[in-house]
């Protein structure tokens, strides 16, 4: 009897190495310009060739400009990096999704699933910690370091130690208005930002089975914020329907044969996990972070906790430091906090479903005075679909700035940052000190909460049903 993770891992082991590591076959290697350019330079300096260029796929996302009409970066250094990747990929015959390439450019963890590059049963690596996102497809997906990128390019393999396994089971159904973002933030708040360290986490249960593919991608995206390198959901009919006719997925009869194989990618009855966590899905309410860690999270109608009641000294000190940095106080309610910026985007919440969710909240309303609000689609495919549905017009009419696809304000590597001391409600995944810019104060939330906060001028809940 095996878990889903065991099946995926075992099917990719080439050899057992000394020190308890395994050598794994890599099926898909995803790259972006922030880490990929230097890795290729190292490879070239060492005189190494690329083992399987057709199995590596590059995109421009981290430092690419998001200004309308952009061609590269917003600064000389970022333009140089973009141009360097374009040249490298052409030289080594590695496919690259550029801004003029049939509209496929976008955030690496958005385009992988939407193009069908991320498939059940495959192993997927990228020099980005949020590669765990692709585990929502039933894939063995994980982030690697820049040095490991060189190894993958040269050998199409990776050396890894096998983690333990954990299952997070959501019993029952979530209440109306609760999104996948709320579900995973709730889990992080309950077991801590290090609760998944050393584990591959499988999400299961009725509430998971009810999630759309895009909701599952959001859930798995924040597995690394739980401390876990891997996040997984077993593929099912929702997965198969999502993948059918995707450009890089099997087509026709081959797709049907693939689905027959993919159905075996499920945890066997009675398989053992090293840790089990059970969540009452009906107990989850809309979640928003208040501090500088994803575990600093509460329901929107709760008060910011008092660090004095935390018994663990290190966590107590961290909570007090977060309160001081964020400019909040114990006992304060989140809806008392005025908002300067709102960011709807990132590899967590920039898919078409996320934009629809936010558009339903803002339709017919307008952003509050003194709030600067952005929508940054996750890919050119998402942007095109949003345009076809009129979502971009809804956001513009409401006073949002509509940008071009990229990582943007999630990490700020391209210069899209929150000002010092400004408070931002963000649909991204990280809220540590300086993540969105020096001195920026970030509150993580769902697209619905971000949209509602932009309208209200303070952290606010959407109207009931707006986030469904």
Long-range contact list for 304-311, CB < 8 A, 24+ apart?
A: 304/328, 304/329, 304/330, 304/331, 304/332, 304/333, 304/334, 305/330, 306/330, 306/331
CA dist 208 and 414 (Å) reads 34
Whether the Cβ atoms of residue 222 and residue 334 lie closer than 8 Å to each other: no
Count up the domains in the chain and report the number.
3
Indicate whether 139 and 173 sit together in one domain.
Answer: no
What would the DSSP string read from start to end of 155-222?
HSEEEEEPPEEEEEEEES-PPTT--HHHHHHHHHHHH-TTTTTTEEEEEESHHHHTS-HHHHHHHHHT
The answer to whether position 226 is within a domain reads: yes
Q: Which of 125, 142, 161 is where one domain is finished?
A: 161
Whether the Cβ atoms of residue 406 and residue 387 lie closer than 8 Å to each other: no
Report pLDDT for 434.
94
Indicate whether 11 and 143 sit together in one domain.
Answer: yes
Nearest C-alpha neighbor of 296 from the set 151, 132, 432? 432
Indicate whether 12 and 138 sit together in one domain.
Answer: yes
Domain that holds residue 65: 4-161
Q: Parallel, antiparallel, or unpaired for β 372-375 and 341-344?
A: parallel
Indicate whether 154 and 58 sit together in one domain.
Answer: yes
Report pLDDT for 464.
53
Give the residue ranges of the chain where pLDDT is below 70: 464-468
Report pLDDT for 466.
44
Indicate whether 156 and 205 sit together in one domain.
Answer: no
The answer to whether position 301 is within a domain reads: no
Indicate whether 46 and 129 sit together in one domain.
Answer: yes
Report pLDDT for 101.
75
Q: Which of 133, 161, 189 is where one domain is finished?
A: 161
Report pLDDT for 100.
82
Question: Cα–Cα distances in Å, from 110 out to 25, 72, 117, 291?
Answer: 23, 19, 10, 27
Nearest C-alpha neighbor of 243 from the set 348, 138, 142? 138
> 384: domain CATH number?
3.30.499.10
Helix then strand count (H, E) for the chain reads 15, 19
Report pLDDT for 467.
42
The answer to whether position 315 is within a domain reads: no
Indicate whether 18 and 156 sit together in one domain.
Answer: yes
Q: Which of 283, 305, 320 is where one domain is finished?
A: 283
């Amino acid at each position: 009897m095996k878990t889903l993770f065991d099946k995926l891992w075992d099917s990719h082991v080439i050899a057992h190495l000394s020190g308890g590591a395994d050598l794994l076959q890599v099926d898909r290697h995803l790259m972006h310009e922030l880490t990929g350019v230097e890795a290729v330079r190292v490879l070239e300096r060492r005189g190494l060739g690329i083992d399987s260029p057709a199995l590596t796929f590059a995109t421009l996302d981290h430092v690419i400009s998001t200004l309308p009409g952009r061609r590269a970066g917003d600064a000389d250094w970022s333009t140089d990096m973009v141009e360097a990747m374009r040249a490298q990929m052409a030289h080594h015959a590695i496919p690259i999704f550029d801004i003029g390439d049939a509209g496929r450019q976008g955030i690496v963890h958005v385009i992988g699933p939407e193009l069908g590059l991320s498939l059940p049963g495959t192993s997927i690596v990228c020099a980005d910690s949020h590669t765990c996102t692709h585990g929502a497809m039933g894939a063995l997906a994980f982030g690697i370091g820049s040095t490991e990128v060189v190894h993958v390019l040269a050998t199409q393999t990776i050396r890894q130690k096998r983690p333990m396994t954990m299952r997070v089971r959501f019993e029952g159904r979530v209440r109306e208005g609760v999104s996948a973002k709320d579900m995973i933030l709730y889990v992080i708040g309950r077991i801590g930002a290090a609760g998944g360290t050393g584990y591959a986490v499988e999400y299961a249960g009725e509430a998971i089975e009810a999630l759309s593919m895009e909701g599952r991608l959001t859930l798995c995206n924040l597995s690394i914020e739980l401390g876990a390198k891997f996040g997984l959901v077993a593929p099912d009919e929702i997965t198969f329907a999502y993948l059918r006719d995707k450009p890089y997925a099997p087509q026709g009869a081959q797709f049907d044969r693939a689905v027959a194989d993919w159905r075996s990618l499920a945890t066997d009855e009675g398989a053992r996990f090293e840790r089990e966590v059970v969540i009452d899905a009906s107990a989850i309410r809309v979640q928003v972070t208040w501090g500088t860690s994803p575990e600093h999270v509460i329901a929107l109608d709760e008060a910011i906790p008092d660090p004095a009641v935390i018994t663990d000294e290190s966590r107590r000190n961290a909570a007090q430091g977060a309160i001081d940095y964020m400019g909040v106080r114990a006992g304060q309610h989140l809806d008392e906090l005025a908002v300067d910026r709102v960011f709807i985007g990132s590899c967590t919440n920039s898919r078409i479903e996320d934009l629809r969710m936010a558009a339903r909240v803002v339709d017919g309303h307008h952003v509050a005075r003194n709030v600067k609000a952005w929508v940054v689609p996750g890919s050119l495919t998402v942007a095109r679909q949003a345009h076809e549905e009129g979502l971009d017009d809804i956001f513009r009419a409401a006073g949002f700035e509509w940008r071009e696809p990229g990582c943007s304000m999630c990490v700020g590597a391209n210069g899209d940052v929150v000002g010092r001391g400004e408070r931002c409600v963000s649909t991204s995944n990280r809220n540590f000190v300086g993540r969105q810019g020096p001195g920026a104060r970030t509150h993580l939330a769902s697209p619905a909460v971000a949209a509602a906060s932009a309208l209200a001028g303070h952290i606010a809940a959407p109207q009931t049903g707006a986030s469904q």
